[in-house]
Structure 1
């Protein structure tokens, strides 16, 4: 289809990725790490929105990561059109508002992507984007629904409504992270998708949604951008103004309340890589079901070992006669836990803080 306005990739890179401790830390969060490829998660995200149909990306990141973001993007030829450096994290709704204002607040389509997700089939992702574009140009807010492969309780779900046009459905309902029996019922019903947190909409359509459903977020974001300090491609929104924005996700603030919200179901080898178990799941395994990786002088030796994930960026890890473990060594920190319990890393970090 003819497309007059190029798509502006918006990469959200403010997260700290604590569930992949000890490799992922506030100073070096998971999007800055090479976990599935020689390229980092941030670089892979930027790469999947390059080409004639896309502009240079707008990146929203934590102020402390500015140099790292620029260096990593530069290495893959994806220099940011604007690098918006949040003085404080206020969740996704205000972060995307900053990007929409930086994009000119007009008809430009914004492709909003978290910086730390895996998409194995980029061609399928692009096909879904182009399927959504006619509705986006008409002012719809579009999300991408991931074809579910399991009764996941850690994801939000989307119930598909009637088909609006080929491959695009009205969103019937957003479902918060469900208990297992509800997830099993949705998977069996078949008319549901996982909420992957990837969006496509015009900048003005999103800002109009905020004006109706979350005016305080819009006002605070606009004030923060009006008072922003500009240094080359870096934008520093005004701290006090942005801190006044309610901390809310785009789902709660806009998507669950707006009228014209659509979903494109897509199967594209997606993972939010939210845990060490998820990394084991999507990685190439050896004949014994093990995933091992070592970098920067690390070494892994495994004898009579099965179905383990082992990573080291310095220490030598030697394992004999064990199975179903996750072992990760980074600097002076070592994590050991059974496979299947890596979601508990968050609780572990809270315990260490105490």
Structure 2
């Protein structure tokens, strides 16, 4: 039976979910959709057997400020990763793939398949996700570098898009990648019918991705190999060598490999996916009351409609509002229109400029 090694990327800071998401306690370590944190949800959905394949123990890649809390959460879940790979500094997703490939080849051999996935995404239909993985595994075993294409349900401007090419059985070749388009272009993609949202989830053979990275981003491959060779390993924790990793270019896997390789493939995935990239996404996927509100925490609503209200502790009262996001934490309050949730990063940047690192 096919063995797939999940590699969970958990190093991000989730700035668009400020004020809850902070550098040392980012969104993936919060329970935002269910009673489990997002990293707990992610590891749980790639654990055990899924019919056509088995998941090996996960590897979780994160930074040192997040390690202790992530470890405690996964211990509480009763599912411990084989390794916590600690990055000395952020270097985007291509280096994660390079380190994962080296580590998986060392542990499982050249033929092992790697599922590279973010820790901060919500997937409602786990069974459909496993079905998509089974299709992708067939292509990955043949040398393809597979991405998962989410069936779009609107002209979303916050996601990248993938255009499918020729049929490959359970998937397609990739004809083109497009970064976040304007609304008119996104609507054109939707009307065309050949485009998917780019979820940033990948499946590939360990030896296949090593070969492609040596061709298309050799500096990344070399630096990551050195960082792993000089890493300090103790009690499932692999701390990458700082000097070697710092020399690695900061680049995404999409740019470094997917947009250059001739082996790119896409498998359609209708899985109830959300990247939970902003507060508005939590309203969209949340369970709504009769007035269209989503509430988490100690909240009282009067004549409120189509709003998302979150409190991490104190009582929050909301009267006579519509289409708002209100988030109250111990030291900060955010109020924004749901359609402007993507602009929260502007507040974060202003706090940086003002030196308010205590709020970040």
TM bin, normalised by shorter chain, reads over 0.9
Report how far residue 37 of structure 1 moved: 0.1
**What pairs with 1:159-178 in structure 2 (closer than 5 Å)?**
159-165=163-169, 167-178=170-181
**What pairs with 1:139-178 in structure 2 (closer than 5 Å)?**
139-165=143-169, 167-178=170-181
- RMSD of Structure 2 on Structure 1 (CA): 0.9
**What pairs with 1:27-66 in structure 2 (closer than 5 Å)?**
27-52=24-49, 53-66=54-67
Query: Are the counterparts in 2 of residues 113 and 199 from structure 1 also a CA contact under 8 Å?
Result: yes
Give me the whole-angstrom Cα distance separating, in 2, the residues matched to 1:344 and 1:249: 23
What's 2:357 paired with? none
Residues 1:113 and 2:117 are matched in the alignment: yes
What's 2:216 paired with? 213
**What pairs with 1:188-227 in structure 2 (closer than 5 Å)?**
188-227=191-230
Q: 2:20 aligns with which of 18, 23, 39?
A: 23
1:68-94 CA-to-partner distances (Å, cap 9, x unmatched) read: 111111222221111100000000000
1:253-286 CA-to-partner distances (Å, cap 9, x unmatched) read: 0011001111001110000000011110110110
Give me the whole-angstrom Cα distance separating, in 2, the residues matched to 1:321 and 1:179: 33
Query: Are the counterparts in 2 of residues 82 and 102 from structure 1 also a CA contact under 8 Å?
Result: no
1:148-178 CA-to-partner distances (Å, cap 9, x unmatched) read: 011111111000001111x210011111111
SS of the residue 1:132 aligns to: helix
SS of the residue 1:240 aligns to: helix
Q: 1:229 aligns with which of 214, 217, 232?
A: 232
Give me the whole-angstrom Cα distance separating, in 2, the residues matched to 1:135 and 1:292: 42
What's 2:318 paired with? 319
Report how far residue 338 of structure 1 moved: 1.3
What's 2:356 paired with? none
Give me the whole-angstrom Cα distance separating, in 2, the residues matched to 1:229 and 1:152: 43
Q: 1:11 aligns with which of 8, 13, 17?
A: 8
Structure 2's unaligned 5+ residue stretches are 354-360
Give me the whole-angstrom Cα distance separating, in 2, the residues matched to 1:223 and 1:198: 25
Query: Are the counterparts in 2 of residues 300 and 311 from structure 1 also a CA contact under 8 Å?
Result: yes
Report how far residue 124 of structure 1 moved: 0.5
Report how far residue 345 of structure 1 moved: 0.3
Structure 1's unaligned 5+ residue stretches are none
1:45-81 CA-to-partner distances (Å, cap 9, x unmatched) read: 0011111301110110011111111111122222111
Report how far residue 116 of structure 1 moved: 0.3
Give me the whole-angstrom Cα distance separating, in 2, the residues matched to 1:290 and 1:132: 37
Moved over 3 A (4+): none
What's 1:132 paired with? 136
What's 1:68 paired with? 69
1:165-214 CA-to-partner distances (Å, cap 9, x unmatched) read: 1x210011111111111111110000110000000001111111110000
User: How many pairs are equivalent?
Assistant: 346
